[in-house]
Amino acid sequence: MRSRVLPVLALLLSVLIFFSYTKSVYEESVAKHKEAIAADLRALAAAEDYAARSGELVAAQNAMDQDALGRLLKMLPDSVNNVRSILDLDGLAARTGVAISSIDVSRESAAQATEDGASAQSPVGSVELSLSGKGTYAAFQKFLQGIETSQRLLDITDLTIIGSDTGVYTYQMTARLYWLR
């Protein structure tokens, strides 16, 4: 009788061990570890590529003309700094002979649409300055060209010229300036 009971118990115990431990550990814990290791290996490979690419880009950046990069930073600065731009415009007007009567910040422009139309993701912000002044046509031409060739990028989006018999015209314009958000 005993010689038959023990094998049956061993078989039952085998089944119990297999289903309660071996199978569950292999299918859950081992699989989880394998998946985590595979993810780590992928991340490590990506980090290696990232570091290599970053090194290449830093080298490329260092190889660029630093003066040109400085001009680029002035053209599209990190902040709007419209007060400085207003002062610079006032100085330009004084040098060219245009008498500025008012300068004001109109409003922040809508986000600039990118090529694919994803305006919400545009990294460029813009604000519009409205200004008015008086001066001769020659003075206005100098002022206009000063704006067009300024290091800080300015686009005139609206311009009104009112003539007079004295040769001194009244100018009202809206200029848009940009910065990198």
Partner 1 sequence: MAVPPTIPTSFVPHPGGSEARRATTDLTGAFGFFTYFVFAIIVLSAFAVFGYDRLLAAQQKSKDEQLAAAEAQLDLATVNGIVRLRDRLASGQTLLNKHVALSNFFHALEKALPQNMRLSQMHISMDSNGKVMLTATGNAKSFNTLAQASDAFAADMRIKDVIFSDITVTASNSVSFALTATLDPELIAFAPATPAVEEADITTP
**Hey, which residues between 116 and 155 contact partner 1 (CB under 8 A)?**
122-124, 141-142, 144-155
Residues whose CB falls within 8 Å of the CB of residue 118, separated by 6 or more in sequence, listed in order: none
Residue window 75-104: x/- pattern of binding to partner 1, with contact defined by CB under 8 A: xxxx--x--xx--xx-xx--xx--------
Residues of span 57-76 touching partner 1 by CB under 8 A:
57-58, 61, 69, 72-76
CB 90 to partner 1: min, Å = 10
Among 29, 101, 108, 167, binds partner 1 (CB under 8 A): 29
Question: Cα separation of 99 and 139, whole Å?
Answer: 10
| Cβ-based nearer residue to partner 1, 101 or 145 | 145
| Cβ-based nearer residue to partner 1, 11 or 101 | 11
CB 67 to partner 1: min, Å = 14
- Only one of the segments 31-39, 98-106, 127-135 lies at the binding site for partner 1 (rule: CB under 8 A); that segment is 31-39
Among residues 96, 112, 82, 79, the alpha carbon closest in space to that of 148 is found at 96
Buried-exposed string 119-145: b where 16+ CB fall within 10 A, e elsewhere: eeeeeebbbbbebbbbbeeebbebbbe
- Only one of the segments 25-33, 98-106, 127-135 lies at the binding site for partner 1 (rule: CB under 8 A); that segment is 25-33
Q: Are strands 154-162 and 124-135 parallel, antiparallel or unpaired?
A: unpaired
Among 52, 114, 118, 167, binds partner 1 (CB under 8 A): 114
Question: Cα separation of 46 and 43, whole Å?
Answer: 5
Among residues 134, 180, 143, the alpha carbon closest in space to that of 161 is found at 134
CB 11 to partner 1: min, Å = 4
Dihedral angle over CA of 162, 164, 167, 172, nearest 10: -20
Which DSSP symbol is given to 109? P
By CB under 8 A, tell whether 115 contacts partner 1.
yes
